[in-house]
């Protein structure tokens, strides 16, 4: 009997989520990258400005969020490459999806298996993602309804200094 009740609650929660229009679940991102800075040919620090807006009626908490940056730069017959990622979650967010704007610094380390970075042109790509949700029937313990959204910037040409 208990299993049947739990199934009915889960099915009702899924049905409630299906009633939310896809457009209402969509978040709005604004994403931009500032001038990268090169340190010791190994570290590229990149200021990333992000603004995210999610309707609080649709999602009242954020599970996970991330900002990632990738740098590629020609180096002789090879490429210097590196990736940096910032992760956040509900208790410790990197950015808020309340419409406010926040600038964070993403550290991109050169891959030690390849050549180091150097001053000059490079290609930069930035991505941001968020997983948000709500509990369809608060207090039931039947789990949250979640959705995810993402935005990308680039690839774009930058100059490392």
Three-class secondary structure of residue 2 per DSSP: helix
Confidence of residue 3 (pLDDT cuts 50, 70, 90): low
Residue 114 has pLDDT above 90, yes or no: yes
Q: 107: closest CA among 40, 62, 21?
A: 40
pLDDT on residue 134: 80
Q: 136: closest CA among 1, 19, 4?
A: 19
Confidence of residue 142 (pLDDT cuts 50, 70, 90): confident
Structure confidence by residue, pLDDT tens digits, 56-106? 777 777 889 999 999 999 999 999 999 999 999 888 999 988 899 999 999
Question: What is the CATH number for 16?
Answer: 2.60.40
Residue 20 has pLDDT above 80, yes or no: no
Q: Which positions ≥6 away from 13 have C-beta within 8 Å?
A: 136, 137, 140, 142, 143, 145
Question: Exposed, middle or buried: residue 87 (CB in 10 Å: 0-12, 13-18, 19+)?
Answer: exposed
Q: Which residue has the tokens 């380390």?
A: 109
Q: What percent of the chain has pLDDT over 70?
A: 83
pLDDT on residue 63: 85
Average confidence score pLDDT of the chain: 84
Residue 15 has pLDDT above 50, yes or no: no
Residue 4 has pLDDT above 60, yes or no: no
Q: Which two tokens stand for residue 145?
A: 């309804």
**How many other C-beta atoms can be found within 10 angstroms of the C-beta atom of residue 101?**
12
pLDDT on residue 77: 94
Structure confidence by residue, pLDDT tens digits, 40-69? 999 999 999 999 988 877 777 788 999 999
Cis preceding linkage at 38, omega within 30: no
Domain count of the chain?
A: 1
The residue range of the domain holding 61 is 2-160
Measured CA to CA in angstroms, residue 29 lies from 13, 77, 96, 101, 123 at distances of 27, 37, 11, 10, 22
Three-class secondary structure of residue 148 per DSSP: strand
């Amino acid at each position: 009997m208990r299993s049947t009740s739990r199934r009915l609650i889960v099915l009702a929660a899924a049905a409630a989520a299906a009633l939310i229009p896809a457009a209402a679940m969509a978040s709005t991102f604004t994403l931009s990258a500032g001038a990268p800075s090169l340190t010791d040919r190994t570290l590229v620090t990149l200021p990333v400005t992000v603004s995210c807006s999610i309707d609080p009626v649709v999602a009242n908490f954020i599970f996970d969020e991330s900002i990632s940056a990738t740098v590629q730069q020609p180096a002789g017959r090879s490429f210097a490459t590196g990736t940096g990622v910032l992760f956040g979650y509900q208790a410790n967010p990197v950015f808020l999806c309340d419409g406010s704007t926040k600038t964070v610094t993403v550290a991109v380390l050169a891959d030690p298996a390849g050549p180091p970075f150097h001053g000059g042109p490079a290609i930069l790509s930035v991505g941001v993602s968020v997983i948000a949700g709500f509990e369809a029937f608060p207090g039931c313990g039947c789990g949250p309804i979640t959705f995810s959204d993402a935005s990308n910037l680039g690839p774009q040409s930058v100059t490392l200094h």
